Structure 1
Amino acid sequence: MKNAFLEIFDNILGAVREPLVVLNADFRVVKANQAFYTIFDVNPDETEGTIIYDLGNRQWDIPRLRELLESILPQNTVFDNFEVEHTFDNIGFKIMHLNARRIYNNENETSLILLSIKDVTVREDYKRYLEEAVYKRTAELRTAQKKAEVNKQAAEAALVKVQQLKEQLEAERAYLQEEIKLEFNHDNIIGRSDEINYVFYKVEQIAATDTNVLILGETGTGKELVARAIHSLSKRKDRALVKMNCAALPTSLIESELFGHEKGAFTGAHSKRIGRFEVANGTTLFLDEIGELPLDLQPKLLQVIENGKFERLGSSETRSVDVRIIAATNRNLEEEVNNKKFREDLWYRLNVFPITLPPLRDRQGDIPLLVQFYVKKIAKRLGKTIEIIPAKVMTVLQQYHWPGNVRELENVLERAVINSSGPKLHLVDKLRKPFRDLSARQRTLEAVEKDYILKVLEQTTWKVSGKNSAAEILGLDRSTLRARMRKLNIQKP
């Protein structure tokens, strides 16, 4: 019977995608299918004849697995959906559903054990796991409340846990719905220059770790795209990247947005709100424009980075989270520290692994690739066909200084596509004159930004919002532009 079963295993079950392992009565591996070797990165040459607990340098010596094989299964012929959580050295954290079945010989003694393993760690299964956990814990609580012998304190603790699971799930769903509404420039960073290849190298270096990252670069260089690239290559990629722009919110709302608040914590707090840190528990939080974070909030952010603990507004309860921080800024934070506008200890915590993005003027070789990409994308959206980009136009685009970087390039190309009546791209903007004061590289990013915003405001006769306004040219929301004008002390003469 044993040989017949193994022959079936080799001929049929070997093609099954779900990992399968056949053990003998001593828990030694008799056979395993290819899915087991692939998913769990186990060496086939060191598997057969080995006790399952000794696989992968004893990575499979899992207490819950021992409980199933040695305590539960001997009392049952079949045991389904036994859940195991375990962190492997080589493949990281896994949530597994185990099904075990005893196979008897002619003497009615256990001859073989068939163990099937379902990996439910991926993102969609993880969401279902949260939903099922909420349902299961709620059902358990209702049953427990009907029994007089249930300990009241334990029931209240279980209710708190259920509520936390519900809140986390609802907050993540709400955040994902907001993210779906956003439109990003492109899925991948485009370029082949040495400068952008070095950025790719730095991303690959740091992505697999949980180290904090600080992304530096001028406005419009693609800092958010780099943050998303780091997250998509990390072990947290199965959960959504959570984002917050520190410059897009009034100072009074930033603390509530980051840490959440209780009902009645301040005027207008009509209900409880979960902050971005709780939404990002177990994943990555991208803090854009970190240099805009108010000085009085920086100690609270430092506390979360150092020990993973914080309190909601209006609450004395300390909460713990596991969040990886990726921050970005177009400011010179070291200079901000010297000017007492940014905490030195927070800067040290964020500046563990800095990545500096090159401005577009230093990536001239990438401009043709970007132009081809954006012209195709914009023309498709506008229902046009642009097949020819004249060499003269491309030369003008490559020679321009691009103070607004890729964001400005996209705006220029959109105006060009709109004004092109045929298959040939017609450039509308006059880009022959380079950006004034090329020595700006030696000044602070804030000074460069102020000069550029002033230049655009002068070109638009100080029209901040609407069609052909400064906000449209800069690619900013009007509220964000007004906030930057206040921050940089830009006033209409």
Structure 2
Amino acid sequence: MRHGRVQERSRKSEERSLLALENSTDGLWDWDIPSGSVFYSTRFLQILGYSPEEFPGTMESFRNRLHPEEAGCTWTAIERHLKERIPFNVEYRLQTKSGAYLWFLARGQAIWDSAGKAVRMSGWIQEITERKQAELDLKAALFEIKELKDKLEAERAYLQEEIKLEYNYENIIGQSDEINYVLYKVEQIAATDTTVLVLGETGTGKELVARAVHSQSLRKDRALVKINCATLPANLVESELFGHEKGAFTGAHARQLGRFEVVNGATLFLDEIGELPLELQPKLLRVIQDGEFERLGSSQTIKVDVRVIAATNRHLEEEVRKGRFREDLWYRLNVFPITVPPLRERREDVPLLVNYFVAKISKRLGKSIENIPTTVMNALQSYHWPGNIRELENVLERAVINSSGPKLHLVDELKTIHKDLATARKTMEEVERDYLVQVLEQTGWKVSGKDGAAEILGLDRSTLRARMRKLGIFRP
């Protein structure tokens, strides 16, 4: 009799507990493991939008509505709780009747028999969709901040390289019709996002023109990032332009952002574009045309908004005919070409350039050059300047160094070009080849170092070596 009263009190207590749980804001479930039946509370079904008929009392009803990304780990957590008694406390998504997924925090507790076998497991779910979405939004925001931080750090590193050099790109020196026409073209195109191709011989100031375009553009508040396609080994150009993932190749110990990613929203200057390896040209065409690419070692497409300014001293049309440059890329780059004239075609600008460089070099060297003799100026104006403005600056630096007083003393022997040579119809490549050979012979074929050909020409030694290979120049 007493045992019956105890059972009755236990039953009524359980009924009161179930009634209280039914009114809870959380969804409850009770799994009878031997029979496989599961009790889902009314609130549980209401949260998901199902009727009892639509959500049968089985464990499969629950498992079939788990999000695929959490299904495996959730069931593993249940099994580990039943077998190893590891606390069950997980977060997962369940599909509602509408098809949408809601996030839940779930806890559960099993009951084991005397033999240690789980016979029952009960638990509850609490909807946390808003909290979870806030977490995901925060995670996405932190990732975006990290990406932006990486880009800013990379841009700062590139900018630090740039500010080591002094540029006068806001005021290109010259008053000749030829240079005024270049400046007119710059003003025409600067405010647009059109790709610009700057053409001209070595040393004519193509980079200054590129910087002039950038400084008058809508992107002028961001740094102009430069990459010289000739100074990088062919196997590194792709990584520099498009970046790489960790482990993409031997030596890739960390992910690196490429220049296109760093310069997103700004301008990229591709110097010596004619040296770009043929196999990379389709990838460059795609990013110019569609604004998308993939890092080395990644299949994820990255979208960017980059204005491209390219420069070359080569006849790209001739390179296309020879099969060394893609025709489609040539057409894409050649939308708005600006040709920078050689110094021999703008001789009236020589005095302005001489005065500018002498003042600049004198200040740097702590000298005071106040007098440039007429004979010196005439010699400078009469010379044909195959190395253009870069050669003029180097000649003037040597002159300032060797001038002991206020009068400029010219140390270089500037031979006036013969009339028959002036009228000869040589290609730009032939003129460049002849001049490089002339300078190399003058230095005893010394490429780098003090008084080497690279120093005289004002070129990086790797650039000079690349040009020598391209033009077929070898030491006899």
Does the pair score TM above 0.5?
A: yes
Shift of 1:449: 1.5
Shift of 1:147: 8.6
Determine which of 154, 163, 167 is the counterpart of 1:184: 167
Shift of 1:233: 0.6
1 CA distance for matches of 2:135 and 2:396? 66
Determine which of 239, 252, 260 is the counterpart of 1:277: 260
Equivalent runs, 1:477-488 vs 2, <5 Å: 477-488=460-471
Identity across matched positions, percent: 73
Shift of 1:433: 3.5
How many residue pairs get aligned? The number is 349
1:368-413, CA deviations, whole angstroms, 9 ceiling, x for partnerless residues?
A: 0000000111111111111110111111110000000000000000
1 CA distance for matches of 2:470 and 2:135? 54
Determine which of 241, 248, 251 is the counterpart of 1:268: 251
Which residue number in structure 2 is paired with residue 468 of structure 1? 451
SS of 2:270's equivalent in the other structure is: strand
Equivalent runs, 1:263-412 vs 2, <5 Å: 263-412=246-395
Shift of 1:208: 0.8
2 CA distance for matches of 1:284 and 1:444? 31
Shift of 1:365: 0.4
Maintained 8 Å contact 2:169/2:211: no
Determine which of 417, 421, 424 is the counterpart of 1:438: 421
1 CA distance for matches of 2:419 and 2:298? 52
1 CA distance for matches of 2:131 and 2:320? 61
1:251-275, CA deviations, whole angstroms, 9 ceiling, x for partnerless residues?
A: 1110000001111111111111111
Pair member with larger Rg: 2
Q: Check 1:426–1:477 CA distance in 2 against 1; reply closer, same or farther (3 A cut).
A: same
Which residue number in structure 2 is paired with residue 254 of structure 1? 237
SS of 2:163's equivalent in the other structure is: helix
1:201 and 2:184 correspond = yes
Shift of 1:486: 1.9
1 CA distance for matches of 2:417 and 2:457? 17
Equivalent runs, 1:40-189 vs 2, <5 Å: 149-150=132-133, 154=137, 156-184=139-167, 188-189=171-172
1:390 alignment partner AA: P
TM-score normalized with structure 2 length: 0.70
TM-score normalized with structure 1 length: 0.68
SS of 1:270's equivalent in the other structure is: coil
For the aligned residues, what is the CA RMSD? 2.0
1 CA distance for matches of 2:395 and 2:143? 53
1:77-111, CA deviations, whole angstroms, 9 ceiling, x for partnerless residues?
A: xxxxxxxxxxxxxxxxxxxxxxxxxxxxxxxxxxx
1:198 alignment partner AA: Y
In structure 2, list runs of 5 or more residues that go unmatched: 1-127
2:184 alignment partner AA: Y
Determine which of 188, 196, 199 is the counterpart of 1:213: 196
1 CA distance for matches of 2:391 and 2:129? 65
1:133-164, CA deviations, whole angstroms, 9 ceiling, x for partnerless residues?
A: xxxxxxxxxxxx99954466555544432332
Q: Check 1:432–1:488 CA distance in 2 against 1; reply closer, same or farther (3 A cut).
A: closer
Q: Check 1:175–1:398 CA distance in 2 against 1; reply closer, same or farther (3 A cut).
A: same
Maintained 8 Å contact 1:471/1:478: yes
2:162 alignment partner AA: E
Maintained 8 Å contact 2:170/2:212: no
SS of 2:181's equivalent in the other structure is: helix
Shift of 1:165: 1.8
2 CA distance for matches of 1:440 and 1:485? 26
Shift of 1:450: 1.4
2 CA distance for matches of 1:271 and 1:418? 46
1:432-460, CA deviations, whole angstroms, 9 ceiling, x for partnerless residues?
A: 33279736873332222211111100111
In structure 1, list runs of 5 or more residues that go unmatched: 1-144
